[in-house]
């Protein structure tokens, strides 16, 4: 084996050969972590980022008695970590577990189906356990021989969450508790971002694994998602629906004071939002005035008391055999958070008007966090080291500033392992989704370009558009009729199950005569699904997915401008759009054998400014094609004919 990996890493790296540029990727991580330094690193698909990070970090983790927390977005990614650990295990004994959220691990249908989210399940689970109402926990509590054997077994080799669930189902044990008991002896844990970044979940989790952040090497995979996740974690909302339910709940449990408050507050919020066109930033004091108008002189005390009442209601519900979900609790938590954040300039308060799925007009209040670093920095600054990686992180400097990774973090962009002849990327001139140029003629030209790609692509083509408005305009101008292959179309509000079915039907056409998938940029398909081989040979990105300039988007830009003078628009507006486009561009090129066409149908991608945000594996050699019929068709045809001939 010809390689330049250090001996300590070779002890763990399980494959006979490293891929081209993979050794640089591994060495950069290993050197940084070994020096107790964080690293921000971009590497394209096909580089083997997961095995690289594991092999680079394990020698340090073993020597210094640290744990590796590997956070990623999907279960498939968590399971990939365990698959790679199994390869390492053949060379070197190592333990590892992938865990799902408690709501997915939980076998108690009453709890799992009834909780709103992971936090509410955590509370519900605690209640059920304390009341002896969970049979799966009771079996754990009995500490049977079987249970104790399983705890030991889990800490000896790699297991996926699904395997653990299957074992627990047979033995009627709580998988979450079994995993918790094994974690303190497990070296690598693959899990969702929330375990590392949600302060409440992290505190409980670290307690269970009996360690603190200083003993952890944190690997953040698909890290381009992190700032969005961090903002979601620290944002919250309260709808008119919840207020109405809280009023009914307070009435049911005989609390007149809370009932009166919920009623009055709801009516005031209805008045406040009556004339709002979608959303408006409001002064936090407007809500505090409403609260005081209701005769509450000490809001904090009132809401803390309301929180206690909510906790009591949940206990009563549980005793009545009902799902312990309290709207009074939700209302009090939101209003306490409002008081906590109202003087903090890294949050804004928003009032929104919107339509429900049944087309009824309603409203909500939102606390919107603007600063992801408030969530990420406390973690990054406390761990032993952080490995932050993705295929789309550029510009690294911006990422470092936005998330407040330590200033001395190593930064590296790995060259793509894809042979240049495996990717054809191009921008078409003469087309754009810029608002002032959206005309029927423009959409008709786009359809012509799409057809040129589809007709010259061997099997499947993906089209990802800037918004549902752009999608509808393309369809209105005859996109479906112009295509000679079946069209699979994402719909607004589709459930994840419906989407999975749509994607799987589309993928299966890769084995037949090919099809076209039409989705939106930034959606779950354009970022979360892999399409190797003929599942997607070509991808077309229609338009630049800039966010609508809503008040919250403007507030985000202003906030970043204040923190990073001259970069507000870039960080708050340009980067998120370019990230979405880059993610979609990578869908067809997942493995080193893939050959893919990546077409940008918007001339703005040809500018040096936009190109500077595209990853190098797309940007290198990207052609700019003239506004002329047939040119794109010829290029795509030539690329795939060459590919076929060279196979
Ligand atoms: S103890 Fe386990 S099975 Fe029972 S509610 Fe909690 S997570 Fe679910």
Average pLDDT of the segment spanning 567-594:
93
Which residues 6+ apart lie within 8 Å of 562 measured at CB?
345, 568
Helix axes 373-380, 226-233, angle to 10 degrees: 110
Question: What pLDDT does residue 112 have?
Answer: 82
The conformation of residue 574, written as its DSSP 8-state character, comes to I
Q: Whose CA is nearest to atom 5 of ligand 1?
A: 125
Q: Which DSSP string do the residues of 193-256 spell out, in sequence order?
A: HHHHH-HHHHHHHHHHTT--GGGEEEEESSGGGHHHHHHHHT-EEEEHHHHHHHHHHHHHTT-H
The pLDDT confidence band at residue 111, using thresholds 50, 70 and 90, is confident
Name which residue leads in pLDDT, 413 or 318.
413
Q: Whose CA is nearest to atom 8 of ligand 1?
A: 106
Q: Which helix (H) or strand (E) holds 551?
A: helix 551-563
Annotated domain spans of the chain: 1-94+187-229+384-417, 236-369, 420-646
Centre of ligand 1 from the C-alpha of residue 316, in Å? 19
Question: Per-residue pLDDT for 186 more than 90?
Answer: yes
Respond yes or no on whether the N-terminal peptide bond of residue 506 is cis (omega within 30° of 0): no
| Of 137, 161, 171, 179, best ligand 1 pocket probe by most atoms within 8 Å of the beta carbon | 137
Does the CB atom of residue 318 touch ligand 1 within 6 A? no
Average pLDDT of the segment spanning 116-137:
82
In 3D, which of 112, 83, 108, 107 has the Cα closest to residue 96? 83
The top-level CATH class assigned to 1-94+187-229+384-417 is alpha beta
Measured from the Cα of 129, ligand 1's closest atom is: 1
Q: How far is CA 126 from CA 121, 314, 464, 590, 597, in A?
A: 8, 12, 43, 42, 52
Question: What pLDDT does residue 647 have?
Answer: 52
Name which residue leads in pLDDT, 556 or 416.
556
Question: Per-residue pLDDT for 645 more than 60?
Answer: no
Question: What pLDDT does residue 1 have?
Answer: 43
Report the Cα 126 to chain-centroid distance in Å. Answer: 27
Centre of ligand 1 from the C-alpha of residue 137, in Å? 6
Q: Whose CA is nearest to atom 2 of ligand 1?
A: 174
Question: What pLDDT does residue 529 have?
Answer: 87
Centre of ligand 1 from the C-alpha of residue 209, in Å? 18
Centre of ligand 1 from the C-alpha of residue 103, in Å? 9
| Token reading at 486 | 């079946």
Residues 327, 643: Cα–Cα separation, whole Å: 59
In 3D, which of 399, 444, 244, 416 has the Cα closest to residue 331? 244
Average pLDDT of the segment spanning 215-224:
96
The Cβ of residue 284 has, within 10 Å, a number of other Cβ atoms equal to 18
| Of 120, 176, 208, 324, best ligand 1 pocket probe by most atoms within 8 Å of the beta carbon | 176
Return the sign of the alpha-carbon dihedral for residues 204, 246, 370, 221. positive
| Token reading at 314 | 């949940």
Does the CB atom of residue 102 touch ligand 1 within 6 A? yes
Question: Per-residue pLDDT for 510 more than 90?
Answer: yes
Average pLDDT of the segment spanning 502-524:
95
The 3-state DSSP class for residue 493 equals coil
8 Å CB contact between 321 and 315: no
Which residues 6+ apart lie within 8 Å of 340 measured at CB?
none
| Of 101, 110, 129, best ligand 1 pocket probe by most atoms within 8 Å of the beta carbon | 129
Residues 28, 335: Cα–Cα separation, whole Å: 46
Asked, colleague to colleague, whether 1-94+187-229+384-417 and 420-646 share their fold, the answer is yes
8 Å CB contact between 282 and 272: yes
- Kind of pairing between the strands at 461-465 and 487-489: unpaired
Residues 42, 70: Cα–Cα separation, whole Å: 16
The domain defined by 420-646 folds into Rossmann fold (3.40.50)
Does the CB atom of residue 177 touch ligand 1 within 6 A? yes
Q: What does the pLDDT look like over 359-379, one tens digit per residue?
A: 889 999 999 999 999 999 999
Centre of ligand 1 from the C-alpha of residue 106, in Å? 5
Question: Per-residue pLDDT for 104 more than 90?
Answer: no
Question: Per-residue pLDDT for 26 more than 50?
Answer: yes
The pLDDT confidence band at residue 644, using thresholds 50, 70 and 90, is low
8 Å CB contact between 526 and 464: yes
The pLDDT confidence band at residue 493, using thresholds 50, 70 and 90, is confident
Residues 7, 202: Cα–Cα separation, whole Å: 34
| Of 118, 125, 201, best ligand 1 pocket probe by most atoms within 8 Å of the beta carbon | 125
Residue 499 has phi, psi (to 5 degrees) of -65, -40
Name which residue leads in pLDDT, 2 or 170.
170
Q: Whose CA is nearest to atom 7 of ligand 1?
A: 106
Does the CB atom of residue 174 touch ligand 1 within 6 A? yes
Please give the mean pLDDT across all residues of the chain. Answer: 93
| Token reading at 580 | 């979405």
Residue 12 has phi, psi (to 5 degrees) of -110, -30
Measured from the Cα of 107, ligand 1's closest atom is: 3
Does the CB atom of residue 567 touch ligand 1 within 6 A? no
The pLDDT confidence band at residue 116, using thresholds 50, 70 and 90, is low
Does the CB atom of residue 137 touch ligand 1 within 6 A? yes
Centre of ligand 1 from the C-alpha of residue 139, in Å? 11
Q: What does the pLDDT look like over 347-363, one tens digit per residue?
A: 999 999 998 878 889 99
Q: What does the pLDDT look like over 283-305, one tens digit per residue?
A: 999 999 999 998 898 999 999 99
Question: Per-residue pLDDT for 90 more than 50?
Answer: yes
The Cβ of residue 567 has, within 10 Å, a number of other Cβ atoms equal to 18
Measured from the Cα of 112, ligand 1's closest atom is: 8
Q: What does the pLDDT look like over 411-469, one tens digit per residue?
A: 999 988 888 889 999 999 999 999 999 999 999 999 999 999 999 999 999 999 999 99
Does the CB atom of residue 115 touch ligand 1 within 6 A? no
Q: Whose CA is nearest to atom 6 of ligand 1?
A: 125
Does the CB atom of residue 107 touch ligand 1 within 6 A? yes
Question: What pLDDT does residue 643 have?
Answer: 57
Centre of ligand 1 from the C-alpha of residue 200, in Å? 18
Measured from the Cα of 137, ligand 1's closest atom is: 1
Report the Cα 347 to chain-centroid distance in Å. Answer: 21
Question: What pLDDT does residue 496 have?
Answer: 77
Residue 65 backbone class (left: φ over 0; alpha: ψ -120 to 50; beta: rest): left
CATH 1.10.275.40 fits 236-369, yes or no: yes
Centre of ligand 1 from the C-alpha of residue 340, in Å? 31
Does the CB atom of residue 136 touch ligand 1 within 6 A? yes
| Token reading at 392 | 């789309």
Centre of ligand 1 from the C-alpha of residue 186, in Å? 21
8 Å CB contact between 133 and 145: no
């Amino acid at each position: 084996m010809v390689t330049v990996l250090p001996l300590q890493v070779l002890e763990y790296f399980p494959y006979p050969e490293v891929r081209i540029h993979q050794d640089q990727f591994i060495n950069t991580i290993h050197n940084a972590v070994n020096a107790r330094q964080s690293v921000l690193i971009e590497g394209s698909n096909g580089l083997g980022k997961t095995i690289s990070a594991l092999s680079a970090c394990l020698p340090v983790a073993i020597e210094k008695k640290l744990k590796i927390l590997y956070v990623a977005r999907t279960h498939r990614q968590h399971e990939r970590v365990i698959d790679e650990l199994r390869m390492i295990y053949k060379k070197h004994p190592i333990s590892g577990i992938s865990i799902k959220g408690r709501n997915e691990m939980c076998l108690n249908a009453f709890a799992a189906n009834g909780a709103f989210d992971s936090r509410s399940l955590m509370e519900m689970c605690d209640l059920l356990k304390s009341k002896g109402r969970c049979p799966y926990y009771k079996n754990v509590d009995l500490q049977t021989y079987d249970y104790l054997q399983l705890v030991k077994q889990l800490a000896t080799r790699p297991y996926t969450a699904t395997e653990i669930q299957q074992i627990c189902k047979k033995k009627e044990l709580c998988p979450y508790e079994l995993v918790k008991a094994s974690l303190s002896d497990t070296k690598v844990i693959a899990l969702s971002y929330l375990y590392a970044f949600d302060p409440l979940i992290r505190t409980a989790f670290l307690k269970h694994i009996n360690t603190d952040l200083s003993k952890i090497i944190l690997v953040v995979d698909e890290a381009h998602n992190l700032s969005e996740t961090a903002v979601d974690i620290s944002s919250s909302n309260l709808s008119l629906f919840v207020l109405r339910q809280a009023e009914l709940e307070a009435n049911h449990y005989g609390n007149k004071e809370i009932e009166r408050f919920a009623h009055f507050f709801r009516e005031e919020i209805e008045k406040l939002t009556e004339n709002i066109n979608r959303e408006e930033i409001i002064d936090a004091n407007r809500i505090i005035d409403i609260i005081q108008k209701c005769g509450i002189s000490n809001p904090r005390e009132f809401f803390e008391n309301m929180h206690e009442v909510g906790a009591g209601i949940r206990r009563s519900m549980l005793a009545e055999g009902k799902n312990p979900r309290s709207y009074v609790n939700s209302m009090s938590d939101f209003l306490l958070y409002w008081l906590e954040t109202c003087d903090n300039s890294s949050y804004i308060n928003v009032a929104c008007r919107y339509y429900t799925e049944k087309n009824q007009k309603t409203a909500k209040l939102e606390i919107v966090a603007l600063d992801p670093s408030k969530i990420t920095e406390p973690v990054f600054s406390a761990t032993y080291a952080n490995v932050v990686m993705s295929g789309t992180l550029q510009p690294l400097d911006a990422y470092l500033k936005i998330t407040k990774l330590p200033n001395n973090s190593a930064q590296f962009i790995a060259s793509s392992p894809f042979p240049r002849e495996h990717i054809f990327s191009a921008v078409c001139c003469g087309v754009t989704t810029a608002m002032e140029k959206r005309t029927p003629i423009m959409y008709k030209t786009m359809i012509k370009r799409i057809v040129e790609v589809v007709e010259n692509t061997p099997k499947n083509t993906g089209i990802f558009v800037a918004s549902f408005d752009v999608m509808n305009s393309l369809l209105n101008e005859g996109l479906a009729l112009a295509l000679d292959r079946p069209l699979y179309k994402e719909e607004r509000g589709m459930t994840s199950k419906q989407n999975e079915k749509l994607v799987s039907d589309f993928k299966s056409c890769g084995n037949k005569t090919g099809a076209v998938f039409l989705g939106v940029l930034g959606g779950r398909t354009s970022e979360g699904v892999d399409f190797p081989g003929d599942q997607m040979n070509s991808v077309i990105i229609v338009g630049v997915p800039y966010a609508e300039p809503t008040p919250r988007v403007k507030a985000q830009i202003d906030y970043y401008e204040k923190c990073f003078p001259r970069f507000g628009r870039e960080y708050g507006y340009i980067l998120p759009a370019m990230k979405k486009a880059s993610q979609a561009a990578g869908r067809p090129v997942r493995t080193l054998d893939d050959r893919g066409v990546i077409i940008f149908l918007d001339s703005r991608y040809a500018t040096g400014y936009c190109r500077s945000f595209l990853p190098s594996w797309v940007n290198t050699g990207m052609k700019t094609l003239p506004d002329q019929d047939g040119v794109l068709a010829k290029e795509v045809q030539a690329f795939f004919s060459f590919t076929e001939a060279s196979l």
